[in-house]
């Protein structure tokens, strides 16, 4: 199997690991570590809820379930918006676990003692949208933002805890790239007894797409959404009764 990012490769990877390892989600660690060998299938939804839903539906059809970490609000999507308000609940309906993907930058405008409350508020909102309580959390882009301020948080299972990042082998396709050791392990099938596999839905599709094409498409879609929102706003303003009265009054004076 070539080093690709198409669905055929995706299913090949999971089938290969699934032959020897049981699949678990983070909520399965609530009462302690499940027996090995196991692998955690994790998805960080950094950019595209639509890509997440496409993958989630195909996983569910195959009897595969994962933990999807969602940002409550980001410049790329907003779970409270009409376009995305259904996403969390749909993922739960498909049988997946929903976890909170938190961006430390969203807390920096507040005093440090408030951060814990803000984290809990985001988790509660996400749970309400999903129709299921949030049991797990994961920091967004930890390589860029330094130490995890909630590493010792005990109200939630933290995906960045040592038992998931040190005691368990962590492999990720971040930025649509495999580290040599990660791909060698997946390709050989020599999988450790405890595996934490973080695969980002945006990287995967029917065809193997280049890295630049993937992330340019994210921004192109965002620009198109903004353009459509602008057109929709202008159309609503045009038929507003107050605007009509104002314009008729203005024309009558000219």
C-alpha distances (whole Å) from 13 to each of 2, 6, 16, 39, 69 are 11, 11, 5, 12, 21
- Tokens 């930890």, located at residue: 142
Residues of the chain where predicted confidence (pLDDT) is lower than 70: 1
Q: What are phi and psi of 167, to 5 degrees?
A: -80, -15
- Tokens 């994210």, located at residue: 218
d(CA 240, CA 233): 11
Residues listed for the chain: 254
d(CA 246, CA 248): 6
Quick one: pLDDT at residue 1? 58
Residues 185, 171 contacting (CB under 8 angstroms): yes
DSSP 99: E
Top CATH class of 7-208 equals alpha beta
d(CA 11, CA 221): 27
Residues 137, 100 contacting (CB under 8 angstroms): yes
Structure-token pair, residue 34:
């499940």
Interacting residues of 171 by C-beta distance below 8 A, sequence separation 6+? 178, 179, 182, 185, 186, 195, 196, 197, 198
Task: Note the pLDDT tens digit of each residue in 137-192.
Answer: 999 988 777 788 898 888 999 999 999 999 999 999 999 999 999 999 988 888 99
Residues 119, 154 contacting (CB under 8 angstroms): no
Reduced 3-state DSSP string for 187-219 = HHCCCCCEEEEECCHHHCECCCCCHHHHHHHHH
For the full predicted model, state whether its pTM sits above 0.85.
yes
Residues 68, 98 contacting (CB under 8 angstroms): yes
Whether a cis peptide bond, with omega within 30° of 0, leads into 37 is yes
């Amino acid at each position: 199997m070539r080093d690709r990012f198409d669905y055929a490769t995706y299913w090949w990877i999971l089938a290969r690991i699934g032959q020897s390892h049981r699949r678990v989600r983070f909520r399965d660690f609530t009462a302690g570590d499940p027996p090995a060998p196991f692998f955690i299938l994790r998805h960080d939804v950094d950019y595209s809820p639509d890509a997440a839903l496409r993958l989630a539906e195909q996983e569910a059809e195959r009897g595969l379930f994962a933990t999807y970490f969602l940002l409550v609000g980001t410049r790329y999507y907003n779970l409270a918006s009409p376009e995305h308000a259904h996403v969390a609940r749909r993922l739960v309906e498909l049988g997946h676990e929903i976890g909170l993907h938190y961006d430390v930058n969203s807390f920096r405008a507040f005093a440090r003692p408030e951060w814990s409350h803000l984290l809990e508020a985001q988790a509660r909102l996400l749970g309400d949208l999903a129709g299921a309580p949030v049991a797990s959390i994961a920091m967004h882009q930890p390589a860029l933002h330094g130490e995890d301020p909630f590493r010792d948080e005990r109200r939630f299972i933290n995906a960045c805890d040592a038992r998931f990042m040190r005691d368990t082998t962590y492999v990720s396709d971040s930025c649509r790239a495999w580290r040599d050791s990660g791909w060698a392990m997946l390709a050989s099938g020599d999988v450790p007894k405890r595996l934490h596999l973080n695969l980002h839905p945006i990287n995967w599709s029917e065809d193997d797409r280049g890295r630049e094409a993937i992330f340019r498409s994210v921004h192109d879609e965002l620009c198109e959404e903004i353009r459509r929102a602008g057109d929709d706003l202008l159309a609503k303003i045009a038929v507003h009764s107050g605007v009509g009265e104002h314009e008729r009054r203005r024309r009558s004076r000219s």
